[in-house]
């Protein structure tokens, strides 16, 4: 059974370690090595994670049998939308229902916060796109976001609650 616990700034090192175990297998063949290194350095250092926690994102760590296996970060976009800013699971834990449990967790948080939509971005080349379709998300927009000299080519996906 998956346990999901709110992360504190002291837990940033756990998320940092998970990100480094997850990011390369997730984006291999989608992003260049240079871009993966940059993204990890920009968003997943302990200090960058702590800053995100302090300023705008609620991080939660997913545990299976007391071992950390992934994380999710949530952020209110506006009065009606809760965004999933990050959702990652260790490759060896994918396909076991944990991702669906994290999506259900996000939907529950949205309901508690009186939101009617859960939204996320997913890279157009990421296989997670098919998972999000399976759990009810629909593409509402294709975006090309300039990001420090790179282009983030994403789908914006939403599910109505």
pLDDT in tens, 36-52: 999 999 999 999 999 99
- Architecture of the CATH domain 2-160: 3-Layer(aba) Sandwich (3.40)
> What single DSSP character describes residue 67?
E
The predicted pLDDT at position 47 comes to 97
The predicted pLDDT at position 57 comes to 96
The predicted pLDDT at position 53 comes to 97
- Residues 6 or more apart in contact with residue 7 via CB below 8 angstroms: 14, 15, 53, 59, 60, 61, 71
Confidence of residue 134 (pLDDT cuts 50, 70, 90): very high
Q: What average pLDDT does range 90-103 have in this prediction?
A: 96
Q: Per-domain residue ranges for the chain? A: 2-160
The predicted pLDDT at position 129 comes to 98
Q: What average pLDDT does range 66-81 have in this prediction?
A: 98
């Amino acid at each position: 059974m998956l346990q999901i616990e709110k992360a504190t700034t002291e837990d940033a090192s756990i998320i940092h370690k998970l990100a480094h175990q997850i990011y390369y297998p997730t984006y291999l063949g989608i992003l260049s090595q240079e871009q993966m290194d940059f993204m990890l350095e920009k968003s997943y250092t302990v200090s960058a994670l702590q800053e995100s926690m302090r300023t705008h994102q609620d991080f939660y760590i997913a545990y299976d049998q007391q071992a950390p296996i992934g994380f999710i970060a949530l952020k209110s976009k506006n009065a009606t939308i809760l965004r999933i800013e990050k959702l990652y699971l260790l490759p060896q834990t994918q396909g076991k229902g944990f991702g669906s449990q994290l999506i259900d967790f996000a939907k529950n948080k949205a309901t508690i916060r009186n939101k009617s939509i859960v939204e996320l971005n997913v890279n157009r080349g990421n296989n997670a796109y098919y998972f999000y379709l399976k759990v009810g998300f629909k593409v509402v927009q294709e975006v090309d976001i300039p990001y420090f000299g790179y282009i983030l080519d994403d789908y914006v996906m939403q599910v109505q609650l």
